[in-house]
Structure 1
Amino acid sequence: MSIMSVVNRFLLKRIISGRTWAEAKVYEQPLDPIMDVLKEGMESKTPVIAVYTQEASNDEPFGVAEQFGVNSLVCMIYIYLPPKVTVTEGATEIEIDNSGAGLALDVVSRQIFASLHSGNEDWIAIWRKLIIQIDKIKRSFVLHEIENGTNIPVMEIRLDLSTVAEPSYGEALYGGWLMLDTKLRATGDPEHLQFANLLKGMIEAPADLEPLELVQMQHNLTDAGAKASGFDYSR
């Protein structure tokens, strides 16, 4: 698995939540059918946002070691607009139907990008530590059929991201990974603590490998590849 893709989704959900017309209706890679994802939003008449990872790749020129160089991540953010939406802007309540869908989607998109700069500051600081830059942004407008021929307007936002490398194996938490661990444990949320323990275990394990064995692991080398590279990793 790509730890960076998991953490990016986790952080974006918390950065965006409460900062747009979707309010807390921000989902992290939901696997349910779209009708189930939209149900809560349709009942509360609010937009719904879903964050997905489309692709994770490594740009390391030597081998396929994800623990070195710069990694790439394609993140998709979907904004779904139920047939009728009621939002509050300041002291004004605004009702939006499909005729105003384009405006509503553009507003929520703007709110999403604003949330990357202000609002949930602790989560933003960690995201900026792990994300080197946004290389490209692409917005697409589509109609999504949900049932009985009913179409709902959707905006797809594609973010091409350059990220820090995957964390090394068998090393203590460092940099942005340590910042995330500290924040997760400080919230007092049992789910955050569980997630922190999961990440810490995946990053710091295995802890019993010899240095040359770690080199082999970091570079994703097979035994034959390690020998061909001149490593004597035998104990």
Structure 2
Amino acid sequence: MLTLKAVRRLAQADVVLFDDLASGPVLDHAGAQAELISVGKRAGRPSARQEHVNELLVSHAQAGRRVVRLKSGDAGIFGRLEEELVALTQAGIPFEIVPGVTSASAAAAAAGIPLTRRLTSRRVQFVTGADVTGHLPEDINWAALADPAVTTVVFMGQRSFPRLAEELRAHGLPSETPALFAEAVGHPHQRLVRTTIGELAQMMADAKVVQPGIILYGPLAFQIGAEPQTV
């Protein structure tokens, strides 16, 4: 899902530095003149170093090229946006941020649910399931994450969710709390699993993580009027 501004910028670009999750049909919007360079970063796989990505951004811009750094979702939400802005700022290169559609909104829309509801879910919180080491962060506000009246969205949390769910239950959140797992959201092969945090934790413990996914839990995680299911 792209904004019209993002499509225009792709068409104007001389260079497109793109992530794995922003490849495929999205790149069809790039002009014929554009040089396409893959700089994807995926957990557990050989990936471009952030320093190398920064160097490419700076060097192509200093050469007078119009550069698009293409990411999936919204780069401002756990998308390493700041590291790249720092590199550009230090090099004196002007930039424009074109906001994307966060996978949290995309997943909720695909599942046919809202992220908020008056009286029962008046707050949304975005958290990461992986720190710089790839493990669950240690400095978590468990009271906030175990709040039953909040929609919680967990980015990059497939590997750590079994432990996360264990801690949530220990802090008072019932195992039956609705949960939604959205895999490859926005792509033709997306998969939505409507379940509970207890069942999802077991599924994640048994599964081999292949596709990127996002987890939502809280009172709105089931489709309105629906039972837990996979679609």
- TM (norm. structure 1) is 0.26
Q: With CA pairs under 8 Å and 6+ residues apart, which has the higher RCO, 1 or 2?
A: 1
Please state which structure has a larger fraction of its residues in helix. Answer: 1
Instruction: Give the structure with the higher percent strand.
Output: 1
Q: TM-score, normalised by structure 2?
A: 0.26
Whose radius of gyration is greater, 1 or 2? 1
